[in-house]
Amino acid sequence: MLIELIRAATVTDIVVSERMKVYEASFRYEIKNAPEYSYFLNILNFISQRDKIGITLQDETERVYDFSTGGERDYKEFIKNTLEDEIIDAKIRIDKKVINNHFSIYAFDEFTKDVLSLPVEEVMVAFSNLLKQSSNYLVFDVYSPITTFATKTMFFVPDGNGTVNSEFNRVKRMEECREVSYFYNFDIYEVLPDDFKITINYENNPLTEVFQKIMVLLSISFIATSSTINGSQLKGIINGQRTMEYCCDINALPDNNILYSIYNWIYTGGNPIDKAIIVRNVISLHCKYIPITEVDEKVMASIQSNYNLYLKENVKAYLELKNRVAEFISDTVSKTGEYATGLLDKFKSNIIAIFGFLFTVILANIVSNQPLDNLFTKEITILVECVLLGSFVYLIVCYFQSRYETKKVWDSYEQLKFNYKDILTDEDLLEAFDNDKMIEKMKKSIHKSEIIYLSMWIIFLIGSIIVVEYLSLCPTYSKILNALQRISELILNFSIEH
């Protein structure tokens, strides 16, 4: 330990102090007892590399030697030029830093003495400044005799004790606290009750009392709807079945672990917002005639009972919700199935209409005593082909109508999912809508049906035109070919002339 290295020489008037980020030591020695340079080198090497150390010597004539700027030769020269009866004043200063979640303590007794001399709110600020420089936890490497103790996020261990394992997610907990409760001073006192919840302790730990006090203070702050620290007073409001205001003297807070249990219950598992509402309802009624610092096991039991009732109601509502979703999906599948078969029904109706028209033409020919071999005259051919063209236009209209109707169903399906997004979690949505498996399957089925029905319709139209043209006395395709031939001749003649 550092104090032993200092005492390794013949020195007097040793004074040691350690604040949160600074260690200081001073001592004196007669020039005849001046230690070797290696004495100071051992002190320099003992200090952690993450910290900055400065050692200065001053004689009675106020000559100063700084170890950070001079070497062994300069030190010997300084001693040589000092009178034999002079006293040397030596000062050591260590500026400590947080690096890789580790921080140094060189004199634990002096460190705790300084912490206990501060008001509670200043202790919170001091630890807050350290924790802001770490990710999820902070290890205090203690370079003096100590029995290991720890909170959920801070570990006080002998130097070289190895790594620690912290499963507590401090960053996530802080985000949840900001969402659920408004702690006005959170930017200044950026600490959690868990930072001071001692999980490993030893008898007569000097920090136990102040840590317990801060834990209770912060537990109340994050249970309340809103809170603020004003001087030595903690003030806040709890909005529950009734609005309750409270004011606590920070220095007189009792040791009440139930408050931490309530806080921890809110932010562990489930929805913290819903759980906080239940807690505030119960506490606002229970603390009508007693202060919030006196909540007991009965309050905790009442909170859990109310939460169990809340869960039963939520389960019932959740099952009803899933049933409604299932009914909607079933209706959607039924409707889309009807739209798919609707295209086939329109195709069948179209075929009946065309054959009905042809039957009428044949019947008219029979009545007029005209021979059937002259059935498809020029006029009838044009008329039939116009009917087939109309059938093709009808095909296009039916197709786009079917696409429009199915699109409306898909849109309503997506809108339903969007509406339930704020009610159900992502996992619940996936489960309730079966990860969209049914709707994707229906989309593929409808697409396949459309291709089959459209192909049948187009093949029918092409076949009908071929048959009509074949039976016609004045086929249209020959006129089209003649017209194309005349157009090509005109283009050829025009190109020759020019």
> Left (φ > 0), alpha (ψ -120 to 50) or beta: where does 269 sit?
left
Q: Which of the pair, 292 or 370, is modelled with greater confidence?
A: 292
**% of the chain beyond a pLDDT of 90:** 42
Q: Hey, which of 64-78, 104-118, 294-308, 324-338 has the most confident mean pLDDT?
A: 104-118
Tokens standing for 306?
């109310």
**CA quadruple 265, 268, 273, 277: dihedral, nearest 10:** -10
Q: What is the mean pLDDT of residues 227-235?
A: 91
Between the two ends of the chain, the Cα-to-Cα distance in Å is 111
pTM over 0.75: no
Q: How high is the pLDDT of residue 490?
A: 66
Q: Give the least confident one: 167-176, 192-201, 403-412.
A: 403-412
Kindly report, residue by residue over 113-139, the tens digit of the pLDDT.
999 999 999 999 999 999 999 888 999
Cβ atoms of 265 and 229 closer than 8 Å: no
d(C-alpha 29, C-alpha 8), whole Å:
12
* Averaged pLDDT for residues 407-430: 73
3-class DSSP state of 451: helix
**What one-character-per-residue DSSP string does 243-306 give?**
EEEEEEEGGG----HHHHHHHHHHTSSS-HHHHHHHHHHHHHHHTTSS-GGG--HHHHHHHHHH
Greater confidence (129 vs 387) lies with 129
DSSP letter for 371, please. -
Tell me whether residue 244 is exposed, middle or buried, using C-beta atoms within 10 angstroms of its C-beta: 0 to 12, 13 to 18, 19 or more. buried
What is the rounded average pLDDT for all residues in the chain?
83
**In this structure, which amino acid lies at residue 150?**
A
- Please provide the DSSP assignment of 112-125 as one string: HHHHHHS-HHHHHH
- The torsion defined by the Cα of 53, 59, 62 and 65, in degrees rounded to 10, comes to -40
**How many residues does this entry show for the chain?**
498
| DSSP type of residue 433 | T
As a whole number of angstroms, the distance between CA 182 and CA 226 comes to 5
pLDDT-based confidence at residue 342 (cuts at 50, 70, 90): low
